[in-house]
Structure 1
Amino acid sequence: MSTVYLPSPLGGMAFALCFLGWVLLEGWVNLRGWQAGSTHRDRFSRYLIIVGMVLAISLATWATGLHMFDVPSNRDMIFYGGVFLMGTGLLFRAYAIQHLGRYFVPEVLIQPNQSLVMTGPYRYIRHPSYTGTFLTVIGFGLALTNWLSLALMVALSVPMYAFRITVEEQAMIEAFGEEYRRYMQHSKRLIPFLLLFP
């Protein structure tokens, strides 16, 4: 039986609001439509992420019942740090979605007359909405104050989004060719200014 650690009623409310915001944001994203005549290149990555994230969240929550993996100390600090990361990730993802506008849709596709956006958060990061998602995923895992829960969230999320990013970048190269290749040379996939995650 899962036993999610909540250090205070206020902390529990903050956690619940962040989680509800996450669900509502992803629900809204998956209801967004796209223009007729779009070229689909999704390779089922949308559905892989939906099923995979439901599985990851379910398993991570279940793992809180395995108390041998509980964070042994500073649980309050880790909980609130996790909630802060969740909120930060949600806001950053929402900002990235808003900046991309009508081009941000739940499936990998190229819309008619689509242009390459390289401003705002996309100036340095090719997939800022996924950066926001990873902050939320890590924050959720930390807020559960259980190392197995955190490991499950990360281990199940990374392969799904790695596949999605690969599919997305292949579609962008196909659509924009050398323009996108040049963009790749001066931007990072997820984290700006680091040699990792090129």
Structure 2
Amino acid sequence: MGTIVWELCVWLVVVVYYHVAEVVMVILYNKSELSWSSTLITLPYLLALGIGFVEFGLEWWWLHEWKRWLSMPCLLVGTCVTLGADTFRKFAMAHARVSFTHRIKEERRPEHVLVTDGPYAWCRHPAYLGWFWWSMGTQIMLANPVCCLLFAVLAWRFFKIRIPYEEYYLEQMFGEAYAIYKLKTPTRIPFIK
């Protein structure tokens, strides 16, 4: 029973850290945007975490030896993925400073500038890329193959819809500068141009 408690504790620390750090980033760089939504905790998100928790429990119960054999390697790999992805995400948020918000803006704010250097020179939406990998990392940590795939598909689908919607407004705000940036800088999320 010690291994299961250890895994869940490390997983919980990673998840709580992610959400607390999101709020801290808003406080540091965009305090006027601070609200409950800054935690990024939503009902669909909690449902997804719950499904992951159920998969973990069912596999631990019915496939105990398999889960126990995979637990430490998956915990190490998943923790590295989540921490690396979250560090990249937070670096991108800090780099964009006030130009980064959790909510898509449909009108340009006076302080909003187009950020195309730093992590934004490597990919158009580094915070999205970080979250994409972070979400899968949380399931790798728990050796949850079904939810790892499910989280990847759902995150991909979310960004497949969100990125074009957001980029429509970015092109309205920044015109040709954004159009050129979009052409030369990939999202690096698989199959999303």
Give your verdict on TM over 0.5: yes
Specify the SS of the correspondent of 2:51: helix
Which of 108, 119, 122 is residue 120 of structure 2 equivalent to? 122
Give structure 2 stretches of 5+ with no counterpart: none
Distance 2:150 2:119 in 1: 28
Give TM-score scaled by structure 1 length: 0.76
Q: Aligned-pair distance for 1:185?
A: 1.4
Contact kept, 8 Å, 2:70 with 2:143, in 1: the verdict is no
Q: Aligned-pair distance for 1:34?
A: 4.8
Match of 1:64 in 2: 56
Q: Aligned-pair distance for 1:155?
A: 2.8
Match of 2:171 in 1: 173
In percent, how many aligned pairs have the same letter? 22
Query: How do 1:34-53 residues align onto structure 2 when only pairs under 5 Å count?
Result: 34=32, 50-53=42-45
Moved more, 95-104 or 156-165: 156-165
Q: Aligned-pair distance for 1:111?
A: 1.4
Query: How do 1:4-19 residues align onto structure 2 when only pairs under 5 Å count?
Result: 6=3, 9=6, 14-19=10-15
Match of 1:145 in 2: 143
Distance 1:168 1:28 in 2: 24
Distance 1:52 1:71 in 2: 31
CA RMSD, Structure 1 to Structure 2 (Å) = 3.1
1:100 aligns with 2:117: no
Q: Aligned-pair distance for 1:13?
A: 5.1
Moved more, 104-113 or 22-31: 22-31
Give structure 1 stretches of 5+ with no counterpart: 36-45
One-letter amino acid of the counterpart of residue 148, structure 1: V
1:78 aligns with 2:74: yes
Which of 156, 161, 175 is residue 158 of structure 1 equivalent to? 156
Q: Aligned-pair distance for 1:113?
A: 4.9
Q: Aligned-pair distance for 1:129?
A: 0.5
Q: Aligned-pair distance for 1:159?
A: 1.9
* Bigger helix share: 2
> Structure with the greater relative contact order (CA < 8 A, sep ≥ 6): 1 or 2?
1
Match of 1:197 in 2: 192
Distance 2:65 2:77 in 1: 13
